[in-house]
Amino acid sequence: MSTLTIVLLVILVILIVACIVLYFLGKRAEKKQAEQQEQIDAMAQTMSMLIIDKGKMRLKDADFPPIVLESTPKYLRRSKVPVVKAKVGPKIMTLMCDAEVFPLIPVKKEVKATVSGIYITAVKGIRGPLDTPQKKKGFFARLRGR
């Protein structure tokens, strides 16, 4: 056998082993995510709130309680998360939001939100439907339009 064939066979074996390892790690992560989603759904409660402000900011800058910062992994503390400031009853609270729900939340309007702890998972409008944001056109779509 030539050296080229041996090298290619070794690379092929390494790639196959890597794919198998990634498959099992993915299965384990999928199970873990399903368990977390069940916990979020079990703790969910619906409440009406007035949205004061929203934005993406770091966890340190978002005024979350210290226990939230301590419980997040170190590599995620510097990442930006969707944050919503809302008036829930007489209190003003800082809540974290799901990435898919974040664009739907209107500012300076009252909404009914499904909240699990400090995490907003769903939003509905109290007075009529919520406005869906317009999707931005890509560069080539704009060029094609001209």
Provide mean pLDDT across the span 82-88: 93
pTM for the model: 0.71
What are the tokens at 36?
């977390």
Q: Are 109 and 51 in contact (CB under 8 A)?
A: yes
pLDDT at res. 139: 83
pLDDT at res. 16: 97
Distance CA 83, CA 56 (A): 6
What DSSP state is assigned to residue 129?
P
The pLDDT tens digits of the residues spanning 6-54 come to 999 999 999 999 999 999 999 999 999 999 889 888 888 999 999 999 9
Which helix (H) or strand (E) element contains residue 107? none
Which helix (H) or strand (E) element contains residue 101? none
Is it the case that residue 58 has pLDDT exceeding 80? yes
- Residue 25 has phi, psi (to 5 degrees) of -65, -40
The pLDDT tens digits of the residues spanning 86-144 come to 999 899 999 999 888 999 898 898 999 999 888 999 998 888 777 777 777 788 888 88
pLDDT at res. 52: 93
* Residue that the structure tokens 């609270």 belong to: 93
